[in-house]
Amino acid sequence: MSTTMNGTMEIVYEKPKTLTDNPTHYCPGCGHGVIHRVLMEVINEMGIAEQTVGVAPVGCSVFAYNYMNIDMQEAAHGRASAVATGVRRVLPDKFVFSYQGDGDLAAIGTGETIHTINRGENILMVFVNNGIYGMTGGQMAPTSLCGMITSTTPYGRDEHFIGHPLKITEMIAQLPGAYYVARHSVHTPAAVRKLKKAFKASFESQKEKKGTCFIEVVSNCPSGWKMNPLEANEWMEKNMFPYFPPGDIKLPATMK
């Protein structure tokens, strides 16, 4: 596509080259598409597409490697951070990121997540939190909110029986290996811009081998939440943000 239109208009925004032309399998309005694009935009703008290795998870974003036009590796359920550790150890000069959802990172992969960050592996971990198992039909995830109706908690999540939603981002921020921990969202243009800055800062810090960067993205799941995309974003702001407030959780002194 040309960069100008009739010589009077110029492109100010287009799909980055680091995304493939495959149409995504995500539901309409799903946050995954935006997060994929923002991540790939950062890689494209930094010119590190040839030096980046991504690790895809199990969950809705299991086909992330079909959409990200960089070197990707698929990991077993919950083990994306462990695979990323291996990639990092073998290829110490590359940029490595793992991309996981809440059912992957905060449930079956809790052990791997904690130990990867405790070792301070020099990787970026992207954690997409939508409070539900989207891929398998909207079951309760560890991050489902109290009272939230899912297909396995039809009367709402009872915290006395099942426990409280897991604030894994706050938890891992306590670990000495965590360098930069932040929570963002993608429901508004301003939030997308902030997330982009966070991804950029994370990749910059990888150059200096500072430690694990952990970015949680509070996202929506219109299908799992049984809402349309606009209602889902509204619901997220109203219900998810009080429990999972966006902002920096552990900010290194150099980024302040």
Residues that bind other proteins (CB under 8 A): 1, 3-5, 7-16, 19, 23-24, 26-34, 37, 41, 45, 186-189, 192-193, 222, 228-230, 233
- Closer Cβ to other proteins, 47 or 176, answer by number: 47
- As measured in angstroms, the least distance from the Cβ of 197 to other proteins is 11
Q: What is the CA radius of gyration of the chain?
A: 18
CA distances from 126 to 2, 5, 53, 75, 180 (A): 33, 36, 13, 14, 12
- As measured in angstroms, the least distance from the Cβ of 224 to other proteins is 15
What does the DSSP 8-state code read for residue 228?
-
- Closer Cβ to other proteins, 2 or 242, answer by number: 2
- Closer Cβ to other proteins, 86 or 229, answer by number: 229
- As measured in angstroms, the least distance from the Cβ of 125 to other proteins is 21
Burial class of residue 210 in the structure, from the number of CB atoms within 10 Å of its CB (0-12 exposed, 13-18 middle, 19+ buried): middle
Q: What span, in angstroms and rounded, lies between the C-alpha atoms of 150 and 141?
A: 9
Q: Which two tokens stand for residue 200?
A: 């950029």
- Closer Cβ to other proteins, 57 or 142, answer by number: 57
Q: Which two tokens stand for residue 232?
A: 């889902």
- As measured in angstroms, the least distance from the Cβ of 9 to other proteins is 4
Q: What span, in angstroms and rounded, lies between the C-alpha atoms of 220 and 87?
A: 30
- As measured in angstroms, the least distance from the Cβ of 123 to other proteins is 25
Contact 177, 121 (CB under 8 A): yes
Query: What is the chain's length?
Result: 256
- As measured in angstroms, the least distance from the Cβ of 27 to other proteins is 8
Residue 213, CA atoms < 13 Å, CB-side half-sphere: 28
- Closer Cβ to other proteins, 172 or 191, answer by number: 191
What does the DSSP 8-state code read for residue 58?
S
- Closer Cβ to other proteins, 4 or 256, answer by number: 4
- As measured in angstroms, the least distance from the Cβ of 70 to other proteins is 15
Q: What span, in angstroms and rounded, lies between the C-alpha atoms of 245 and 165?
A: 13
Q: Which one, of 50, 66, 203, lies nearest residue 126 by Cα?
A: 203
- Closer Cβ to other proteins, 204 or 234, answer by number: 234
